[in-house]
């Protein structure tokens, strides 16, 4: 159906609306097999996506599921359900809309499978789960359209790969489905279009009018930004002033922990008791829903949030966005700014607040990039094989399958279009038998090939195991937090297990903006009370730590080279000049290394500007080589621009440590033993179904914990070093946390030119690193020596050293 | 050999960095919680297909300890197998390894909650064993008569940021860490473990060499 009927036009007119040109275009081109709409936030993207569906369903002739809407957020699905309610009701359309997420009740989910609504709103994980059921082909046979919202966000992670494999499977059940992608402004729309379309089909791109340029500035404060940290506490009085001047302010933070601390401090300073809320992914569903509802009613003047609010949820009258901390990535900043001013033609208004002195430099560089519309981003690599393994299992749960057919289905996904049959078969073999050099599971294979050639689950009950492990979001080992009372207590949210382990009864910490007191651990739940009598420890939430993009790092180095500090506030310009007089300013084509003593330890600071993850890898790599050289390194800490290493001995000449060829060779051996590989292995093994997601949690008090995935990794490496999963782990580690690509980029641009500056004191640029959190210990001779000293000290303190 | 000699219930014992201990006066090597056949059991129940190398790894380490100590007597303190079926379906090569280790030695299997009863491997089968001033049983008993050697809880210590399997010792009890490869551990401060020991208890961390550290006082 190409055109909208009179009912729709009347309804638009009755509300005083006119269709945006891109909304009309979406309706006119509704028959295209794949269509990508790129529009700024507030551009009526979602309505543009749904108009053709509503038009097609208006006559009541369609039976069963018509449109599947997939978004990265549960909250977004709920929001869309609310928003679709209005046109459906007011035009009296015969359309049933339901959502299905992790929060949907089991009875409702079961009913949806038997009697699906016309429009189903869901997430990639819930969709993958639906595809494990035998009746999926019946449920999806009537499917006509799939709308992928916020596709730019999904394309950034394995969730996107999972979704595209799901779409390929849906297309095999309903060959005629049309795919629609809705995207915020991105640097490379063609890449997103390729990601969306069925391979090798093409996908047209519709660009909406980007609207007026945003008004964006750095927040100027009388108070100086601190030397390190990411809280932005110093700016609270100014942020409060801005909140008072605006109707509704959204305050974004890069991590959940920072959002908690900031909210706590904002509340303490909030003398007029302005209604302010907090929203992030570690809070309980009840907490989040309360804040969302208050926001929609317009009851809140400000909301402190993290990425969970990044996406296109309609929050009503937001007229100011404040970004606390450097945005790390220009594209994300632009998307966050777009949250303000949902009236399409008014410019968005935003303020960026650097959290520390170095971030002032980064914020200035990011603002320049926004003004020049110079967005950043990395190309998408081939589809990860761990996700492919999971989909083989999902396919098997649905019933017996033919390997060749399934291979062809998966190859219609852009990311997997270059997958060879050999690679596919290797994944199938791993899923079926474990693919161990020693064929140990002949009797207990997961999948078996039948006499007719089809593959099926050996034990149909295994489907239950598979369902419990569907999804690609990493398991971060969090524990639920509850208020302690006889009735079981109200859930408040989650904290990381490592953090919970560090608590002793009586300790206090922040969650949901409140200080709570740790009382104890019961049935793997953290029990707390409201008795807050100590200053809080800070809950450490995993959250994602973004690395400063290559493009943004290059801009900063360019500013250093040009010595153009005119855009910087005086305090920051002075700081950089001070650095130059003591040592040097880092340069793009040289590595600056400073050595100095501090606090009884020898320190070495390396300015690589390769982003947080690569700098972390560089730290691991270099300390490994220092350990071999007998320099007894103890630990290091990394930021986006530098890594600071300390140890028991001085580094006389760092050049051999940074020799490119040596680094590359060392990298291969080092990679196998390092913690990042172990963490990546855990994630990949879980996704591929070789490790069960719930193992970290499936323990009751008084029982020994499950063994760690580290032991699995070490065992596999020792006895089966060529195993497929180790190969997959290496691939994934290189892409993600290891980020060796950016170390290569650094080595290429510096080409062995190293400046080693030896000083008798800390330099201005290195000083903030001493205050950084997230120090990584180096497990080696130096630390073993200190551990022995520590145990001896404890024994003698306890008077036990005579025994 | 990087071990640590202790006096427990009047007996001189040598705690080894691997998590075994050796009793020189009786030429006895003691290990606990081998959990042989764990990966096979998980697969049988329809779960994940774990790397099936833990039995090889555990037996290799045990052979090394027997070889180094030269012990003529070996005692496995329960949960030697992950379940009864795992003992039955043990691979031929692993059976042969165990038979080689048993040749010329006295071998005692104490039963555990995972492996009650008798399997078809050589050696004697006992619910518990009293010898000299010591009593060997899988799960610590309360109240405790003293001289008790047990396993079961897989104790693990946390010092600085290191987490290591450990022995726990006070005047009445000695608890062994789990020796098996895929066994995990329970934190030494968890009430199930901490409640069994007095405030004068000492933990001996396994690793490159045995390190002694006081068990933290109960909260």
Which ipTM was obtained for this model?
0.87
Which residue in the set A701, A705, A784 is minimally distant from B184, CB to CB? A705
3-state secondary structure string across chain B: CCCEEEEECCEEEEECCCCCEEEHHHCEEEECCCCECHHHHHHHCCCCCCCCCHHHHHHHHHHHHHHHHCCCEEEECCCCECCHHHHHCCCHHHHHHHHHHHCCCEEEEECCCCCCCCCCCCCEEECCEEECCEEECCCCCCCCCCCEEECCCCEEEEECCEEEEEEEECCCEEECCCCCCCCCCEECCCHHHHCCCCCCCEEEECCCCCEEEECCCCC
SS3 A211: coil
Structure tokens at A80: 């869309």
Confidence class of residue B108 from pLDDT cuts 50, 70 and 90?
very high
Per the CB < 8 A criterion, the answer to whether A646 and A602 are in contact is yes
User: For residue A298, which phi and psi values (nearest 5 degrees)?
Assistant: 80, 25
Give mean pLDDT, residues A279-298: 82
Which is more confident, B140 or A76? B140
Domain end call among A323, A345, A371: A371
- Partner A contacted by B40 (CB < 8 A): yes
The answer to whether residue A121 scores a pLDDT higher than 70 is yes
Beta-carbon contacts of A531 under 8 Å, excluding residues fewer than 6 positions away, are: A517
Which residue in the set A433, A465, A501 is minimally distant from B46, CB to CB? A465
- Count CB neighbours of A476 within 10 A: 15
pLDDT at A725: 95
* Residues A149, A253 within the same domain: no
CB A791 to CB B192 under 8 A?
Answer: no
Mean pLDDT lowest among A139-148, A386-395, A745-754: A745-754
pLDDT at A737: 64
pLDDT at A733: 79
Confidence class of residue A730 from pLDDT cuts 50, 70 and 90?
confident
Pairing, β A204-207 against β A34-38: parallel
Q: Which residues of A93-103 are buried (b: 16+ CB within 10 A; e: fewer)?
A: bebebbbbbee
* Residues A48, A139 within the same domain: yes
Q: Which residues of A535-554 are buried (b: 16+ CB within 10 A; e: fewer)?
A: ebeebbbbbeebbbbbbbbb
Does A453 map to a domain? no
Whole-angstrom CA distances from A425 to A402, A428, A430, A433, A685 are 12, 5, 9, 12, 18
CB B53 to CB A711 under 8 A?
Answer: no
Would you put residue B17 in left (φ > 0), alpha (ψ -120 to 50) or beta? alpha
Does A428 map to a domain? no
* Residues A14, A161 within the same domain: yes
Give mean pLDDT, residues A547-557: 91
Does A61 map to a domain? yes
CB A690 to CB B50 under 8 A?
Answer: yes
Cα of B148 vs its chain's centroid, Å: 13
Structure tokens at A603: 């320190």
pLDDT at A787: 75
- CA gap A248, B114 in Å, rounded: 61
pLDDT at A701: 37
Confidence class of residue A703 from pLDDT cuts 50, 70 and 90?
very low
Pairs of residues, one from chain A and one from chain B, whose beta carbons lie less than 8 Å apart:
133
- CATH class of the domain whose range is B4-214: alpha beta
In which residue are the tokens 């974004």 written?
A252
Q: How many domains does chain A have?
A: 3
The answer to whether residue A473 scores a pLDDT higher than 90 is no
User: For residue A529, which phi and psi values (nearest 5 degrees)?
Assistant: -125, 170
* Residues A150, A275 within the same domain: no
Give mean pLDDT, residues A780-786: 75
Per the CB < 8 A criterion, the answer to whether B24 and B72 are in contact is no
Beta-carbon contacts of A689 under 8 Å, excluding residues fewer than 6 positions away, are: A389, A390, A393, A431, A446, A466, A469, B48
Per the CB < 8 A criterion, the answer to whether A514 and A284 are in contact is no
Q: Which of A324, A352, A354 is nearest to A228 (CA)?
A: A354
* Residues A228, A172 within the same domain: no
Give mean pLDDT, residues B158-187: 88
* Residues A60, A138 within the same domain: yes
CB B219 to CB A504 under 8 A?
Answer: yes
pLDDT at A440: 74
pLDDT at A800: 62
Determine what percent of chain A is predicted with pLDDT higher than 70. Answer: 90
Structure tokens at A214: 């945003």
The answer to whether residue A427 scores a pLDDT higher than 90 is yes
Residue of B nearest to A460 (CA): B46
CB B53 to CB A702 under 8 A?
Answer: no
Does A731 map to a domain? no
* Residues A177, A313 within the same domain: no
Does A195 map to a domain? yes
CB B214 to CB A704 under 8 A?
Answer: no
- CA gap A196, A200 in Å, rounded: 11
The answer to whether residue A56 scores a pLDDT higher than 90 is yes
CB B51 to CB A723 under 8 A?
Answer: yes
* Residues A45, A125 within the same domain: yes
Which residue in the set B53, B153, B184 is minimally distant from A708, CB to CB? B184
How many residues are listed for chain A in this entry?
803
Measured at the CA of A169, the angle between CA A474 and CA A472, to 5 degrees, comes to 0
Beta-carbon contacts of B82 under 8 Å, excluding residues fewer than 6 positions away, are: B35, B36, B37, B38, B40, B41, B114, B115
For residue A415, cis peptide bond before it (omega within 30 degrees of 0):
no
SS3 A32: coil
Pairing, β A478-483 against β A525-529: parallel
pLDDT in tens, A247-264: 889 899 888 888 888 998
User: Which of A427, A787, A789 is most worth mutating to test chain B (most B CB atoms within 10 A of its CB)?
Assistant: A787
CA atoms within 13 A on the CB side of B189: 16
Residue of B nearest to A467 (CA): B47
Which is more confident, A3 or A559? A559
SS3 A432: helix
Domain end call among A207, A223, A257: A207
Per the CB < 8 A criterion, the answer to whether A362 and A329 are in contact is no
pLDDT at A702: 40
Structure tokens at A623: 């300390």
Does A575 map to a domain? no
How many residues are listed for chain B in this entry?
219
The answer to whether residue A716 scores a pLDDT higher than 60 is yes
Structure tokens at A694: 């719930």
Q: Which pTM value belongs to this model? A: 0.79
pLDDT at A573: 93
Which is more confident, A689 or A346? A689
CA atoms within 13 A on the CB side of A242: 27
CB B46 to CB A708 under 8 A?
Answer: no
A185: domain CATH number? 3.40.50.300
- CA gap A225, A211 in Å, rounded: 33
Stated as kind and residue range, the H or E segment containing A534 is: none
pLDDT at A524: 65
Give mean pLDDT, residues A33-38: 95
- In chain B, residues with a C-beta closer than 8 Å to the C-beta of A434 are 43, 49-52
Residues forming beta bridges with residue B23, ordered by sequence position: B28
* Residues A225, A314 within the same domain: yes
Mean pLDDT lowest among A61-75, A156-170, B168-182: A61-75
pLDDT at A706: 58
Which residue in the set A704, A784, A787 is minimally distant from B185, CB to CB? A704
Q: Which of B53, B82, B102, B78 is nearest to B176 (CA)?
A: B78
Per the CB < 8 A criterion, the answer to whether A484 and A523 are in contact is no
pLDDT at A344: 53
pLDDT at A609: 94
* Residues A76, A140 within the same domain: yes
CB B159 to CB A444 under 8 A?
Answer: no
The answer to whether residue A545 scores a pLDDT higher than 70 is no
Q: In which domain, by residue range, is A139 found?
A: 6-207
Structure tokens at A192: 């997103």
Structure tokens at B104: 């010329």
pLDDT mean across residues, chain A: 85
* Residues A364, A513 within the same domain: no
The answer to whether residue A448 scores a pLDDT higher than 50 is yes
Give mean pLDDT, residues B211-217: 89
* Residues A203, A219 within the same domain: no
Domain end call among A181, A207, A233: A207
Beta-carbon contacts of A796 under 8 Å, excluding residues fewer than 6 positions away, are: none
pLDDT in tens, A311-359: 555 566 788 899 998 888 888 788 777 766 655 566 778 899 998 889 9
- CA gap A213, A199 in Å, rounded: 35
């Amino acid at each position: 159906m190409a055109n909208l009927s009179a009912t729709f036009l009347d309804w638009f007119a009755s509300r005083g609306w006119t269709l945006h040109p891109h909304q009309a275009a979406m309706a006119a081109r509704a028959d295209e097999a794949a269509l990508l709409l790129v529009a700024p936030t507030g551009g009526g993207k979602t309505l543009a996506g749904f108009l053709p569906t509503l038009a097609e369903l208006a006559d009541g002739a369609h039976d069963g599921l018509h449109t599947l809407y997939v978004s990265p957020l549960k909250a977004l699905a709920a929001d869309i359900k609310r928003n679709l309610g209005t046109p459906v009701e007011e035009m009296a359309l015969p359309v049933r809309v339901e959502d299905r997420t992790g929060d949907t009740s089991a009875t409702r989910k079961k009913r949806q499978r038997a009697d699906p609504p016309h429009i189903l709103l869901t997430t990639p994980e819930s969709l993958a789960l639906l595809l494990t059921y035998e009746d999926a082909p019946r449920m999806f046979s009537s499917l006509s359209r799939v709308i992928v919202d916020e596709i730019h966000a999904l394309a950034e992670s394995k969730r996107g790969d999972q979704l595209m494999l799901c779409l390929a499977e849906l297309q095999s059940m309903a060959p005629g489905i049309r795919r629609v992608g809705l995207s915020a402004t991105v640097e490379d729309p063609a890449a997103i279009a390729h990601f969306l379309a069925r391979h090798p089909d093409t996908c047209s791109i519709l660009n909406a009018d980007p609207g007026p340029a945003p008004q964006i500035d750095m927040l100027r404060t009388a108070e100086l930004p601190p030397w390190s940290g990411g809280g932005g506490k110093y700016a609270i009085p100014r942020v409060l002033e801005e909140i008072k001047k605006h109707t509704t302010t959204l305050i974004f933070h890069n991590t959940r922990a920072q959002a908690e601390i900031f909210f706590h401090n904002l509340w303490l300073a909030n003398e007029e008791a302005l209604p302010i809320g907090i929203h992030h992914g570690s809070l309980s569903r009840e907490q989040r829903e309360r804040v969302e509802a208050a926001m929609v009613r317009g009851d809140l003047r400000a909301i402190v949030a993290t990425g969970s609010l990044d996406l296109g949820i309609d929050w009503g009258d937001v007229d100011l966005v404040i970004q606390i901390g450097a945005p790390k990535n220009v594209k994300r900043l632009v998307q966050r700014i777009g949250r303000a001013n949902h009236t399409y033609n008014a410019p968005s208004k935003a303020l960026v607040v650097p959290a520390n002195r170095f971030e002032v430099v980064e914020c200035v560089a990011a603002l320049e990039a926004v003004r020049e519309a110079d967005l950043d981003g990395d190309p998408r690599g081939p589809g990860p094989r761990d996700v492919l393994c999971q989909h083989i299992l999902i396919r098997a749960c649905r019933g017996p399958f033919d390997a060749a057919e399934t291979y062809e289905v998966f190859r219609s996904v852009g990311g997997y279009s270059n997958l060879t049959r050999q690679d596919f078969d290797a994944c199938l073999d791993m899923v079926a038998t474990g693919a161990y050099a020693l064929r140990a599971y002949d009797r207990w294979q997961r999948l078996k090939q039948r006499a007719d050639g089809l593959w099926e689950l050996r034990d149909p009950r295994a489907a239950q195991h598979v369902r419990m492990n569907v999804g690609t979001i990493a398991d971060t080992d969090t524990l639920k937090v509850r208020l302690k009372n006889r009735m079981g207590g109200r859930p408040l949210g989650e904290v990381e297990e490592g953090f919970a382990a560090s608590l002793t009864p009586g300790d206090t910490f922040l969650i949901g903006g409140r200080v709570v007191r740790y009382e104890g651990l019961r049935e793997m739940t953290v029990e707390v009370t409201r008795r807050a009598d100590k200053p809080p420890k800070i809950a450490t939430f995993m959250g994602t730590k973004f690395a400063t993009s290559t493009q943004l790092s290059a801009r900063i180095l360019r500013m250093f080279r040009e010595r153009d500090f005119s855009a910087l506030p005086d305090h920051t310009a002075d700081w950089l000049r001070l650095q130059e007089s003591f040592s040097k300013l880092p340069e793009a084509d040289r590595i600056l290394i400073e050595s100095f003593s501090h606090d009884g330890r020898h320190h070495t600071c390396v300015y690589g500007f390769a982003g947080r993850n690569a700098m972390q890898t560089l730290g691991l790599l270099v300390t490994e080589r220092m350990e071999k050289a007998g320099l007894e390194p103890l630990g290091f800490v990394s930021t986006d621009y530098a890594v600071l290493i300390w140890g028991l001995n001085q580094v006389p000449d760092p050049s051999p440590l940074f020799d490119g060829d040596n680094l590359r060779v060392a990298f291969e051996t080092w990679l196998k033993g390092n913690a990042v590989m172990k963490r990546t292995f855990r994630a990949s093994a879980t996704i591929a179904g070789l490790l069960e997601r719930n193992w970290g949690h499936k323990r009751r008090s008084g029982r020994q914990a499950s063994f760690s995935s580290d032991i699995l990794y070490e065992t596999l490496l020792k006895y089966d070093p060529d195993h497929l999963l180790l190969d997959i782990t290496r691939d994934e580690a290189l892409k993600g946390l290891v980020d060796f690509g950016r170390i290569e980029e650094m080595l290429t641009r510096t080409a062995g030119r190293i400046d080693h500056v030896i000083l008798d004191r800390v330099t201005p640029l290195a000083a903030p690193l001493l205050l950084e959190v997230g120090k990584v210990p180096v497990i080696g001779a130096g630390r073993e020596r200190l551990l022995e000293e520590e145990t001896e000290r404890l024994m003698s303190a306890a008077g036990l050293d005579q025994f | 050999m990087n071990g640590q000699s202790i006096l427990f219930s009047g007996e001189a014992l040598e705690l080894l960095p691997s998590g075994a201990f050796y009793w020189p006066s009786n030429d006895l090597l003691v290990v606990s919680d081998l959990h042989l056949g764990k990966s096979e059991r998980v697969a049988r129940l329809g779960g994940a297909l774990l790397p099936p190398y833990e039995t090889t790894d555990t037996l290799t380490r045990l052979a090394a300890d027997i070889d180094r100590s030269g012990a003529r007597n070996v005692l496995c303190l329960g949960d030697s197998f992950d379940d009864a079926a795992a003992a039955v379906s043990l691979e031929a090569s692993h059976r042969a390894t165990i038979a080689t280790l048993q040749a010329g030695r006295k071998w005692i299997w104490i039963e555990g909650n995972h492996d009650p009863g008798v399997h078809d491997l050589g050696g004697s089968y006992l619910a518990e064993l009293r010898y000299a001033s010591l009593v060997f049983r899988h799960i610590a008993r309360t109240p405790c008569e003293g001289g008790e050697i047990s396993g079961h809880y897989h104790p693990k210590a946390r010092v600085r940021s290191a987490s290591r399997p450990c022995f726990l010792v006070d005047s009445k009890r000695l608890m062994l860490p789990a020796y098996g490869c895929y066994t995990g551990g329970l934190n030494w401060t968890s009430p199930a473990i901490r409640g069994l020991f007095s405030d004068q208890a000492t933990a001996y961390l396994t690793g490159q060499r045995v390190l002694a550290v006081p068990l933290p006082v109960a909260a």
